[in-house]
């Protein structure tokens, strides 16, 4: 998978690049509008991450450019601008998603994977992890071909965990992924624990090994080891 990151903040760009390299993605970086347009016109990317405020141009222009040359490329806008107008303009121009800074890298990762999945053809849409198989279109989760009945939140949680497999996920990022702005409603994160516990139980009931590792004080890690 090949990604292009258009972002003028070097420190942030490095973090994102490192994060995706661990995912075995090729993540190229353009620090300004000019480089971005050059790269867009030469190479093909599976997904492009665009910051709207660039030192030498408007990120929305880059989105337009990209839509003209490679309409099948997935686009995620990452912006500090949370204004409704920009969000709507961005989505109207054909970007697939809009993420407001600051965001969790794990959240960005999950969104990138979802965009790539939606943009690719059938077959590769299936998500597999160990004994688990997920059909995102049907919202169906299987362990060894047997369906497990999950609530909407448990399903979202499972997809999120698999997208960020082999990584430490903080409780904040999980809470924000599942409840968005309402995440701060939970005065402690016991509530996530309830969902994690239920999900783990349902998976293990179907003969799944315990993939979920709890990391004291931080969060969780989903891995095969």
Contacting residues toward another protein, per CB under 8 A: 9, 11-12, 15-16, 18-19, 22, 53, 80-84, 100-106, 151, 153, 167-168, 170, 172-173, 179-182, 184-188, 191, 194-195, 215-219
Output the smallest distance, CB 201 to another protein, in A: 16
Q: Residue 32 or 100: which CB sits closer to another protein?
A: 100
Q: Residue 142 or 168: which CB sits closer to another protein?
A: 168
Output the smallest distance, CB 217 to another protein, in A: 5
Alpha-carbon span 72 to 79, nearest angstrom: 22
User: Strand runs (DSSP E) across 7-144, as ranges?
Assistant: 26-30, 47-50, 53-54, 57-58, 74-79, 97-100, 127-129, 132-135, 140-143
Q: Are strands 53-54 and 57-58 parallel, antiparallel or unpaired?
A: antiparallel
Per DSSP, the three-state class of 28 is strand
Output the smallest distance, CB 67 to another protein, in A: 24
Q: Residue 73 or 222: which CB sits closer to another protein?
A: 222
User: Is the distance from CB of 56 to CB of 30 less than 8 angstroms?
Assistant: no
Q: Residue 11 or 42: which CB sits closer to another protein?
A: 11
CA separation, residue 84 to residues 79, 98, 154, 179 (Å): 12, 11, 30, 20
Output the smallest distance, CB 169 to another protein, in A: 8
HEC letters along 128-146:
EECCEEEECCCCEEEECCE
Q: Residue 99 or 142: which CB sits closer to another protein?
A: 99
**Tokens 């969790």, located at residue:** 104
User: Is the distance from CB of 59 to CB of 37 less than 8 angstroms?
Assistant: no
Output the smallest distance, CB 85 to another protein, in A: 9
């Amino acid at each position: 998978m090949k990604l292009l990151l258009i972002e003028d903040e070097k420190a942030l760009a490095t973090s994102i690049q490192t994060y995706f390299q661990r995912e075995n993605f090729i993540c190229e970086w353009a620090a300004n509008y000019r480089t971005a347009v050059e790269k867009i016109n030469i190479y093909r990317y599976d997904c492009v991450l665009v910051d709207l405020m660039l030192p030498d141009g408007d990120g929305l222009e880059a989105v337009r450019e990209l839509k003209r040359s490679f309409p099948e490329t997935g686009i995620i806008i990452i912006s500090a601008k949370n204004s409704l107008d920009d969000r709507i303009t961005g989505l109207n121009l054909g970007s697939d998603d809009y993420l407001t800074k600051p965001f969790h890298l794990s959240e960005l990762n999950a969104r990138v994977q979802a965009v790539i999945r939606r943009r690719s053809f059938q077959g590769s849409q299936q998500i597999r992890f160990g004994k688990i198989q997920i059909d995102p279109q049907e919202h169906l989760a299987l362990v060894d071909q047997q369906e497990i009945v999950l609530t909407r939140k448990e399903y979202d949680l499972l997809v999120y965990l698999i997208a960020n497999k082999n990584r430490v996920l903080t409780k904040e990022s999980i809470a924000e992924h599942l409840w968005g702005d309402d995440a701060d409603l939970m005065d402690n994160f016991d509530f996530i624990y309830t969902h994690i516990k239920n999900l783990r139980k349902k998976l293990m009931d179907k003969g799944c090994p315990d993939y979920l590792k709890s990391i004291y004080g931080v969060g969780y890690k989903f891995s095969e080891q």
